[in-house]
A and B are shown apart, each in its own frame.
Chain A
Amino acid sequence: MPPAAFIVCSLKRYRMVTIHNPISPKAVRAWYRVHKWSSLICAIFLLMACITGLPLVFHDEINAILQPHVAPASMPSEAPMANVDQMVSEAQARFPSLHPYDVYWDDDEPRVFVYMSPSDEPKNSDLRTMVFDAHTGKFLESPKLGGTVLTLIFRLHTELFLGLTGEVVMAVMALSFVLSLVSGTLVYGPFMRRLRFGTYRREAAPRTRWFDLHNLLGIVTLTWALVVGATGAMNTISTPLFAMWRSQTMPQILAPYQGKPMPRHFLSVDAAVKEVSVALPWAEQSAVLFPNAVLGSPRHYLVWNKGKTPITSRLLTPVLVDVETGRLTVSKGLPWYLRTLEVSRPLHFGDYGGMPLKIIWALFDLALIVVLLSGVYLWLSRHKAPVEKELDRLVRLEKLEAEQTPAAGVLAR
């Protein structure tokens, strides 16, 4: 069937859809209770996440103002790359008490970040950074990490300053939010049955007005909220998920090394990266983690690779390079749940479609705040009209308004 005919056919079938009320009045009340409680439980956390999320959407722009960085020399992108080991030894000379922790290639500009750390599992505030020009190898600057307002906002947003406990709390709250969206959609039907889509009675009593606003903004932003809520929950559990994967795969890789002395001679970072780029011609290297007993392998460079298309650039493939022999251990790729996590991550941040998408994200975020506040208002003012009786009330209201239709029509004109 040609596509056009298929679409017309589907539309015709869609027009004929009539479903006998799928949920009984009893079930509607039960779902309403689920909606009420799942919303109230997460309300204060959701409000906090919405407010702190707003500046985080624009973190690139805000950081550029708060911490202007030294720009690298303008060069054609195919210009040769400078020696990374030279940068690492320069950083080592600058911070002799620390050891090299991580090398990272900036996505947007030809810059190389060298991170120095006192331990294998450092806090962001323990790290020292030196930024180099990727082409000339010239030292650019040594910015401070973790001190900005945005870092504090980010920590509040993701873990309430409580570390792993806070991450778990926020993940549970995000799931509660998803449940409130699903249950809200189910009770939306019975409530809206006798109303037109998007009814907003602005001349009505405040409670009716907020009820309309809650329904309209809620149903229109539903898909966005579901996606951002679900990916938010996934992001908060990403740290434990990665730790789980590491604890499953690392012992197998390290088993042959058992009992062997620690390496004395270290392969150069440049050589390791070159080797990986030959083995994975479809990828470019985005970061190298130095031998690390906690986050990687104590005997390998962990080289992170990403693809070159919009979608594969989200998928990171780790490759281990033995620091002594240079032997590669190419993993089978990350398991499906970590791949899903990686691809879906931008869907939470909204930073994957330029400035217009960020503005759209902020507007959806504001709409969600209105849905949240109107929901709380409806709950607080429930003594005025118990929501359990709302259905009956709506029917009466609708009959009343149907009688007034001609008058309302004149007023509207």
Chain B
Amino acid sequence: MSHPFPFRKVYGAATLIAVLTLFGLLSALLGDGVWDALSWITLTIPLAVIGWKCSRPSKTPSSRV
């Protein structure tokens, strides 16, 4: 319990992806045309992250906490 919880390291990328997803989900709902395109782009990012992380050779995890 003495270590500070590394929030940004653990949840940082996840928070960014959550914000992007939420933006993508809402932009196509609230607008048309360019907002649809923005939605496609932002929602593709989380899927691309999955492809990227699964396809690259595994790196050893960082030892920094």
Q: Which residue of A lies closest to B27 (CB)?
A: A353
Give the bracket for the number of chain B residues in contact with chain A: 35 or more
CA distance A110 to B62 in the complex (A): 60
CA distance A364 to B13 in the complex (A): 18
Task: From A193, A203, A398, give the contact of B63 (CB < 8 A).
Answer: A398
Mark interface residues in B7-33 (1 if CB within 8 Å of A CB, else 0): 111111110011001100100111110
Given A18-B7, A199-B58, A310-B29, answer yes or no on A223-B12 (Cβ-Cβ < 8 Å): no
A195 contacts chain B at the CB level, 8 A cutoff: yes
Question: What A residues does B57 contact at CB under 8 A?
Answer: 202, 411-412
Task: From B5, B40, B46, B62, give the contact of A353 (CB < 8 A).
Answer: B40
> Least Cβ distance of B34 to chain A in Å?
12
Q: Are B10 and A193 in contact (CB under 8 A)?
A: yes
- Interface segment among A47-55, A130-138, A273-281, A402-410: the answer is A402-410
CA distance A2 to B14 in the complex (A): 27
> Least Cβ distance of B49 to chain A in Å?
6
Q: Are B49 and A220 in contact (CB under 8 A)?
A: yes
Q: Among B32, B50, B60, find the residue whose CB has the most chain A CB atoms closer than 10 A.
A: B60
Interface residues contributed by chain A, number (CB under 8 Å): 59
CA distance A408 to B58 in the complex (A): 9
A224 contacts chain B at the CB level, 8 A cutoff: yes
Question: What B residues does A200 contact at CB under 8 A?
Answer: 53-54, 58
Given A216-B50, A367-B47, A408-B59, answer yes or no on A347-B29 (Cβ-Cβ < 8 Å): yes
> Least Cβ distance of A193 to chain B in Å?
6
Task: From A18, A24, A402, give the contact of B6 (CB < 8 A).
Answer: A18
Question: What B residues does A360 contact at CB under 8 A?
Answer: 40, 43-44, 47
A15 contacts chain B at the CB level, 8 A cutoff: yes
Task: From B5, B7, B31, B61, give the contact of A196 (CB < 8 A).
Answer: B61
Given A216-B53, A352-B29, A363-B47, answer yes or no on A223-B40 (Cβ-Cβ < 8 Å): no
Question: What A residues does B46 contact at CB under 8 A?
Answer: 220-221, 224, 364
> Least Cβ distance of A201 to chain B in Å?
5
Q: Which residue of B lies closest to A344 (CB)?
A: B29
CA distance A195 to B11 in the complex (A): 11
Question: B residues engaging A (CB < 8 A)?
Answer: 1, 3-14, 17-18, 21-22, 25, 28-32, 36, 39-40, 43-44, 46-47, 49-50, 52-54, 57-63, 65
Could you give 13 example pairs across A and B, Cβ below 8 Å?
Answer: A193-B5, A193-B10, A194-B61, A200-B53, A224-B21, A310-B29, A352-B29, A357-B39, A367-B50, A399-B63, A401-B60, A404-B60, A408-B60
| Known interface pairs A220-B17, A314-B29, A357-B40; 12 further A-B residue pairs with C-beta atoms within 8 A, sorted by A's residue number | A18-B4, A18-B8, A21-B4, A193-B10, A199-B58, A216-B53, A222-B14, A353-B39, A360-B43, A398-B63, A402-B60, A405-B60
